[in-house]
Amino acid sequence: MEIRYAKEEEIESIKDIWSYCFNDTESFMKYYFNDKYKSENTVVALDEGKIISSLQLNQYKLLLNSKVYNTSYVVGVSTLPEGRGAGYMNKVMKFTLNELYKKRAISFYIDAY
């Protein structure tokens, strides 16, 4: 298992995982992957060279007490069925949180529901 940031040429594999895991429209997929997605903000887990899990860190400006902070939030947390329950996302998330810690990023929770 390898955990690392995605490469530009891996976008199609990441789109395939996203499409499988989420019920998004084609227009949203085009918008997201053309306007929001950045490989340097995407963490992937690979098994034998195949991307099994991925997530993205979307960049966000947080205004707190009249000060703007550059931070990011986690989206697109996804794992192919053959990798579920095998600890791929656990390792991806640990890698991601460690990277955010090294950058001294502000942590916060956005409740989606």
Over residues 36-90, the pLDDT tens digits come to: 999 999 999 999 999 999 999 998 888 989 999 888 889 999 999 999 999 999 9
pLDDT (mean) for 93-109: 85
- Domain count along the chain: 1
Evaluate whether residue 78 is within a structural domain. Answer: yes
In a domain, 89, yes or no: yes
- What pLDDT, on a 0 to 100 scale, did the predictor assign at position 103? 84
Q: Is residue 112 part of a domain?
A: no
Q: Which domain holds residue 80?
A: 2-102
Across the chain, mean pLDDT equals 92
pLDDT above 80 (res 107): no
For the CA atoms of 29, 77, 5, 91, the dihedral, rounded to the nearest 10 degrees, stands at: -160
Give the residue ranges of DSSP H helices in the chain.
11-21, 26-31, 88-102
pLDDT per residue as tens digits for the range 19-40: 999 999 999 999 999 999 999 9
CATH code for the domain of 57: 3.40.630.30
The answer to whether the CB of 63 falls within 8 A of the CB of 107 is no
| CA nearest to 88, candidates 100, 78, 74, 73 | 78
Q: Are 101 and 93 spatial neighbours (Cβ–Cβ below 8 Å)?
A: no
Res 112 pLDDT > 70? no
In a domain, 96, yes or no: yes
What was the pLDDT predicted at 109?
67
